[in-house]
Amino acid sequence: MELGIKKHVEDIYKCTRCGYCREMVREEVNTFRVCPIRENTPGFEAYTSKGKMLLMRGVLEGTLDLTPKLSEIVFTCTTCGSCKTHCPVGIDTVGIFEVFRNDLIRQELGLPSHTMYGKYAMEKMNPYNEPHEDRMAWLPESVEFSKPAEIAYFVGCTSAYRQQEIATATYKILKKIGVDFTILGPDEWCCGSPLFRTGQLDLATKLAQHNIEKLNELGIKQIVFSCAGCYRTFAMDYKNIGKLKAKPIHFTKFIYNQIKEGKIKFKESPLKVTYHDPCHTTRSMKKADYKSPRRVINSLPGVELIEMVSTKEGSMCCGAGGGLKSAFSDIAVSAAQKRVQQAKETGATHLISTCPFCRRNLMDGNEKGNLGMKIMDLTELILERME
Ligand code: SF4
Ligand code: SF4
């Protein structure tokens, strides 16, 4: 088997082993700890980006074999991209990890919890093994699916089946402000994000091709996402698969444009919040969007935004991504607990994010640490305060 990582040999050997992907001090972004895995495991080098670069060298040089242990190390990573952001020689660390994951998948060395949701996504169009016909069960009213419209709301599996409050809030906000939009209903399949992130590229491609075809057929011009993972997948991964005619936009940016145009009126009441940037709207994108969620929060009368010690470029991952939550839940929840602790230290009562996966894991971390924060998606906060 030809290894995919061979194409990245130059980058892999560019690693100077400086260790900035483990920890560093960058005062301007308050970054002290870089890798959530390093922070939530005994700290063995192999589990950091630097260690993985060395492991790949070993595989390329033939001194290391692809084994289940190696696979366990490579999949113990949230693919948060923090190491990439902090790498002084500009290695696309996380892009290479995903290629390495695909090498392992092709050798049938994927982790069972990941390959299982690959199978479910193929059979039921969602990785949760839920009936496809229940995908839109959260809708508060009956809706004509895939109707002609310029804007589509792509719900995503996590909001459709596990974090339905986000889907409902997004839907209600769009309706309240009179946006003419459609929902694909049964034509919406998993975006493929969990499969792209865990190296299951062949399966992810099939899902992507279906979604691209449906959206193109409907003549959609703009797709709105309340899920950061779906948004990143459409905006970044789909480019390598097909020509999507519509422009993906995260709900946060979409709603800020509506606020700017004066289409939303809010009630005033005092509240202290802090904000967690999902990796998928920031580090994973070609251009990170740190501004839109902060602008939206600052548009809410009476709401005070207090930043956490690690924020924006230096934001600590919530721990949920890259398949970590399904395969190594303890590490994922422990990362979330640390993040919620940072939130609590700001003095805010509410921790806001813009990703259903962050919401879920931060809630788990909040509960594990008995931290008493209120975890909310920005859509819920907006709806709560709309007149
Ligand atoms: S920060 Fe970059 S160059 Fe430094 S050890 Fe990590 S991957 Fe290698
Ligand atoms: S992508 Fe995130 S979790 Fe994975 S090695 Fe890099 S910093 Fe650590």
**pLDDT tens-digit profile of 126-160?**
999 999 999 999 999 999 999 999 999 999 999 99
**Domain range for 197:** 112-258
CA of 4 to the centre of ligand 2 (A): 20
DSSP 367-386: HHTT--PEEEEHHHHHHHHB
Residue 31: CB within 6 Å of ligand 2?
A: no
Convert the pLDDT of each residue in 170-186 to its tens digit: 999 999 999 999 999 99
Burial class of residue 150, CB neighbours in 10 A (0-12, 13-18, 19+)? middle
Same domain, 17 and 72: yes
Q: Is 53 in the pocket of ligand 1 (CB under 6 A)?
A: yes
Beta-bridge mates of residue 353: 377
Nearest alpha carbon, ligand 1 atom 8: 15
Residues 21 and 134 occupy one common structural domain: no
- The mean pLDDT of the chain is 96
Does the beta carbon of 34 sit less than 6 angstroms from any atom of ligand 2?
yes
Q: Which residues pair with 304 in a beta bridge?
A: 272
- Nearest CA to 315 among 248, 362, 360? 362
**Is any atom of ligand 1 closer than 6 Å to the C-beta of 208?**
no
- For ligand 1, atom 1, the nearest C-alpha belongs to 87
In this structure, are 361 and 240 located in the same domain?
no
Most distant CA pair in the chain, distance: 64
Cβ atoms within 10 Å of 64's Cβ, excluding its own = 14
Does the structure show a pLDDT above 60 at 333?
yes
Provide the residue type at 16 as one letter.
Answer: T
pLDDT surpasses 90 at 24: no
SS3 8: helix
Give yes or no: residues 12 and 127 share one domain: no
Task: Give percent of the chain with pLDDT exceeding 70.
Answer: 98
Q: Does residue 320 share a domain with residue 218?
A: no
Could you report the per-residue pLDDT of 282-329, keeping only the tens digit for each?
999 999 999 999 999 999 999 999 999 889 988 999 999 999 999 999
- Total domain count for the chain? 3
Cβ of 13 below 6 Å from ligand 1: no
For residue 80, the domain's CATH number is 1.10.1060.10
Percent of the chain's residues with pLDDT above 90: 95
Model confidence at 232: pLDDT above 60: yes
pTM over 0.75, yes/no: yes
Q: Whose CA is nearest to atom 7 of ligand 1?
A: 50
**Cβ(174) – ligand 1 distance below 6 Å:** no
Tokens describing residue 353: 């994010």
Q: Of 219, 235, 258, which one is at a domain's C-terminal end?
A: 258
Q: Indicate if the pLDDT at residue 46 is higher than 80.
A: yes
Q: How many residues does the chain have?
A: 387
Q: Is a pLDDT exceeding 60 seen at residue 31?
A: no
Contacts (Cβ under 8 Å, ≥6 apart) of 57: 12, 13
The enclosing domain of 302 has a CATH number of 3.40.50.1860
